[in-house]
Amino acid sequence: MRRERDEVENEGVSEMITTHVRQFYVGGQWVQPLGHDTRSVINPTTELEIATIAMGTSRDVDAAVTSARDAFATFAATTRDERLWLLDAVMTVYRARSDELADVVSQEMGAPATLSREDQVPVGLGQFRQAFEALQNFEFDSRDGSTAVFYEPAGVCALITPWNWPLLLIASKVAPALAAGCTMVLKPSELAPLSALIIAEVMDEAGVPAGVFNLVNGDGPTVGSALASHPEVDLVSITGSTRAGVSVARNAADTVKRVHQELGGKSADILLPDVDLEQTVAKSVMAIMENSGQSCDARTRILVQRDQLSQAEVIAARVANSVVAGAPAAPGTMIGPVISAAQFDKIQEMITQALAQGAHLVAGGLGRPSGLERGYFVRPTVLSNVTNDMAIAREEVFGPVVVLVAYDDEEDAVRIANDSPYGLSGAVSSSDVDRARALARRIRSGMVHVNGKGLDGRSPFGGYKQSGNGREYGVFGLREFLEVKSVFGYYP
């Protein structure tokens, strides 16, 4: 196992840091960067530096893309069984590193230890498993009369991932790319890059052929732009903000490469008046609080019939006030900090603006939770009297902030839900499942949850409108990394 670790004690917290933080993984080797820029990685719980990473340049991108291009022809020609074996090997090593991955995720993004161990790490492994299962039965060749239809690897892929669910979002791109026979260059978020470096170590130990998987750390304007515009990159897959997705699409346009975007959301959760309000509001609020509200598909607009709004406020306030924010390892911690000082400040500004526009503060509010003097902790907050023209109802907050929006009738609820530049997710709850199903069909989003049903990890994940294009997970994710070829007259 080609790695070493240093332990640094920061006020009783053991920080496990890979020695590869100032290197990139290119061509099957850990290599020195071609530039000299570095960046501190800050633990959002302590506001202290836990590592210093190397930041890539366009020359580092050139080297990584060349490595991926050189490896593509050979890897694209591998058999289904060879790629299944490789995915299985990756999963084996991933499992062996699970404890370390959980520890690092808690450090770099402040996720509670239970969330890291029981959710953050398993969902990453789950995407490798789903890619494995999709590959097992995928029909790469089919016949349409005398025409043969072939699915072939898309080529060299640039994978750009964010910090909020780092292992899930890396795996949801790396796993199907491997299954498809593509080669790749990963640029993880510079805010939470340490778990990605461990994933590179996993790839190395699992025996992924040299050049198939490459990693270059860096920021969006430098490394992200260089990857998106690179003439030797065939496909870009990005998960991030809508702003970042638009930038990638613009940079990719000149070379007419495929761009797959999984972007922001401001999803609506419609509670019809026949629900058990106590149970449904409580479940909806707790779902938003998970991961400190830092999930693109969080249904942060809870829509309640107008005459039930005051009752919903009481329930939502009680639930939000019960949410315990704290350090990852602290007993009882339910949510950690948000990722950075900049994100903390943005959330404070959005709450301030909402109150100025007439929103009513039901729970939480400005500043840190009581007893927390440092760290980027946001008070679990509920705002009511919110109308759909307010910024807090239209813009992604990415924090533990719930807005309650009143509607008059079912038609009004659908109108409010669809009145958004985003279309990633949504939810409908009703004691009448047929009524909920009918309403779900009318929501303009890529995903809708009926009566609290969660994701299954293999159904298509992605959105409408400014939430992006393309789909991830399972066979749908595999297809995104494949080109379709028709060969006419192939059959007699």
pLDDT single digits (tens) 389-436:
999 999 999 999 999 999 999 999 999 999 999 999 999 999 999 999
**What pLDDT was estimated at residue 7?**
35
The yes-or-no answer on residue 262 being catalytic is: yes
3-state secondary structure of 258: strand
> Which residues lie below 8 Å from residue 475, measured CB to CB, with a gap of 6+?
134, 138, 458
Q: Where in the chain is the domain with CATH 3.40.605.10?
A: 5-263+468-486
Does the pTM exceed 0.85?
yes
Q: Which tokens sit at 361? A: 């503060």
For residue 284, is pLDDT > 90?
Answer: yes
> Which residues lie below 8 Å from residue 192, measured CB to CB, with a gap of 6+?
41, 105, 108, 109, 163, 166, 339
Superfamily of 268-456 according to CATH: Aldehyde Dehydrogenase; Chain A, domain 2 (3.40.309.10)
Q: What is the pLDDT of residues 160-211, one digit of tens each?
A: 999 999 999 999 999 999 999 999 999 999 999 999 999 999 999 999 999 9
Q: Which CATH architecture describes the domain 5-263+468-486?
A: 3-Layer(aba) Sandwich (3.40)
Q: How many CB atoms lie within 10 A of CB 363?
A: 21
Separation of alpha carbons 292 and 281, rounded Å: 18
For residue 8, is pLDDT > 70?
Answer: no
User: Out of 11-25, 300-314, 441-455, which region has the weakest mean confidence (pLDDT)?
Assistant: 11-25
The CA angle 90-103-327, to the nearest 5 degrees, is: 150
Alpha helices in 181-308 (DSSP H): 194-206, 225-229, 242-253, 277-289
Question: What own/partner pairs with CB < 8 Å and gap ≥ 24 does 81-85 have?
Answer: 83/135, 83/178, 83/179, 83/181, 84/132, 84/135, 84/136
Q: What's 169-207 look like in SS3?
A: HHHHHHHHHHHHCCEEEEECCCCCCHHHHHHHHHHHHHC
Q: Where in the chain is the domain with CATH 3.40.309.10?
A: 268-456
283-304 average pLDDT score: 97
Q: Which tokens sit at 4? A: 């070493």
φ/ψ bin of 387: left (φ > 0), alpha (ψ from -120 to 50), beta (otherwise): beta
Which residue matches tokens 């779902």?
287
284-312 average pLDDT score: 97
3-state secondary structure of 100: helix
3-state secondary structure of 377: coil
Q: What is the pLDDT of residues 57-85, one digit of tens each?
A: 999 999 999 999 999 999 999 999 999 99
For residue 148, is pLDDT > 90?
Answer: yes
Q: Which of 15, 108, 262, 480 is catalytic?
A: 262
Question: Could you tell me the sign of the dihedral formed by the alpha carbons of 120, 122, 124, 126, in that order?
Answer: negative
Q: How many CB atoms lie within 10 A of CB 10?
A: 14
Phi and psi, residue 294, nearest 5°:
-95, 60
**What pLDDT was estimated at residue 4?**
33
Q: Which of 190, 296, 313, 396 is catalytic?
A: 296
Question: Could you tell me the sign of the dihedral formed by the alpha carbons of 16, 373, 294, 380, in that order?
Answer: positive
Phi and psi, residue 90, nearest 5°:
-60, -45
Sequence length of the chain is 492
Q: What is the pLDDT of residues 202-251, one digit of tens each?
A: 999 999 999 999 999 999 999 999 999 999 999 999 999 999 999 999 99
Question: Could you tell me the sign of the dihedral formed by the alpha carbons of 290, 291, 293, 294, in that order?
Answer: negative
**What pLDDT was estimated at residue 19?**
81
The yes-or-no answer on residue 182 being catalytic is: no
For residue 460, is pLDDT > 70?
Answer: yes
